[in-house]
Amino acid sequence: MARILVLGTVAQDLVVGLRQVLLSGGHQDGIDKGPRLGGGGANAAVALARAGDVALLVAAVGSDPVGDALLAELRSLGVDLSLTVRLQGGSSRSIVMTDPAGERTIVNLRRLLESEPPLRIKSVAADAMYVRSRHQGLAPLMAEMTDHMTVIAHVPPTAPNSVPAQILVGSRSDIDDAFLADPFTHGMAVSGGRLEWIVVTHGDKGAEAFGRNGQRLFQTAQKVEVVDSTGAGDAFAAGLSHALARKMTMEQALKIAVAWGTAATQYESSAPGEEFPPVTAS
């Protein structure tokens, strides 16, 4: 069992099932599928909890009934909420539209964030920290946490020193070609020189990792029928964190991460379903 800090959003996803692929400027037919638990932090924390880890969710929810429901569901799924705070106002909410191929489009309606970095985590013992947060000013805190544990964080942003972490994760669709021409060198600048690996996901094709001394790994993904791709990236990063918190090699971690990300697409949910995960680190 590993203890993993998860910094990210908890949200209520309002889900619409589209009958056709989303087209700009067109009229769409859809099915109201109601609300469900979502948000990058929540999705990753649920995945880790289902794998038997202690998932310490560092997040904020509102003082509204939506916040009550979100916290109750997270608690029932085994997520540790001792570092989650309640703030005045409405909870984060998003519209999630899924098409017949399982592809999702997300529209953020509201994002509830703490006004200051969550310094309360500094005294918490953990094996790793996963950061999926839009919180401004996190860099100094992240840099300090890298002295005590492995930090896994998303790019973008790609400004120098903006994401102090040993492991960076990004989707191919979110990273420009100039960055990808030499991902490790650019990642070193983003991480302030702390980088050990940068991982780039390629959707249903799998993922690759770039390390020091020109190391390059690629892991293909199993072909599956996609039901809902919402939260697949969060599950991937959770799998990576799950493995790296146990000091596994990047090759081993990449296999687990790709398996988790692929499995997450087979559930009609934002957070992984009951049969998740398909494999865990021994």
- Mind spelling out the 3-state secondary structure of 142-174? HHHHCCCCEEEEECCCCCCCCCCCCEEEEEHHH
Rounded CA-CA distance 111/142 in Å is: 21
265, 255 in Cβ contact below 8 A?
Answer: no
Residue 145 amino acid letter? M
Confidence label for 75 from pLDDT (cuts 50, 70 and 90)? very high
Could you tell me which residue, 239 or 137, shows the higher pLDDT?
A: 239
271, 257 in Cβ contact below 8 A?
Answer: no
The residue to which tokens 């809902």 are assigned: 228
Model pLDDT for residues 1-10, shown as the tens digit of each residue: 899 999 999 9
In percent, the amount of the chain with pLDDT more than 90 equals 78
42, 74 in Cβ contact below 8 A?
Answer: yes
Residue 37: predicted pLDDT: 96
Q: Is 273's pLDDT higher than 90?
A: no
Residue 162: predicted pLDDT: 95
Q: Which residues contact 90 (CB under 8 A, 6 or more apart)?
A: 62, 64, 66, 110, 112
Query: Quick one: which of 149, 204, 148, 199 has its CA closest to 170?
Result: 199
Residue 56: predicted pLDDT: 98
Q: Is 105's pLDDT higher than 90?
A: no
Residue 27: predicted pLDDT: 82
Model pLDDT for residues 13-45, shown as the tens digit of each residue: 998 888 888 877 778 888 899 999 999 999 999
Query: Quick one: which of 183, 181, 182, 189 has its CA closest to 169?
Result: 183
152, 165 in Cβ contact below 8 A?
Answer: yes
99, 21 in Cβ contact below 8 A?
Answer: yes
Domains of the chain: 3-22+30-264 (3.40.1190.20)
Q: Is 121's pLDDT higher than 80?
A: yes
Could you tell me which residue, 154 or 19, shows the higher pLDDT?
A: 154
In percent, the amount of the chain with pLDDT more than 70 equals 100
- In Å, how far are 15, 22, 26, 112 from 104, measured between CA atoms? 10, 9, 17, 22
| pTM assigned to the model | 0.94
Residue 182: predicted pLDDT: 96
State the DSSP string of the chain: --EEEEEE--EEEEEEEESS---TTS---EEEEEEEEE-HHHHHHHHHHHTT-EEEEE-EEESSHHHHHHHHHHHHTT-B-TT-EEESSPPEEEEEEE-TTS-EEEEEEE----SS--GGGGG---SEEEEE---TT-HHHHHHHTTTSEEEEE----STTSS--SEEEEEGGGS-HHHHTSHHHHHHHHTTT--SEEEEE-GGGEEEEEEGGG-EEEEEPPP---S--TTHHHHHHHHHHHHHTTT--HHHHHHHHHHHHHHHTTSSSSS--TT--S----
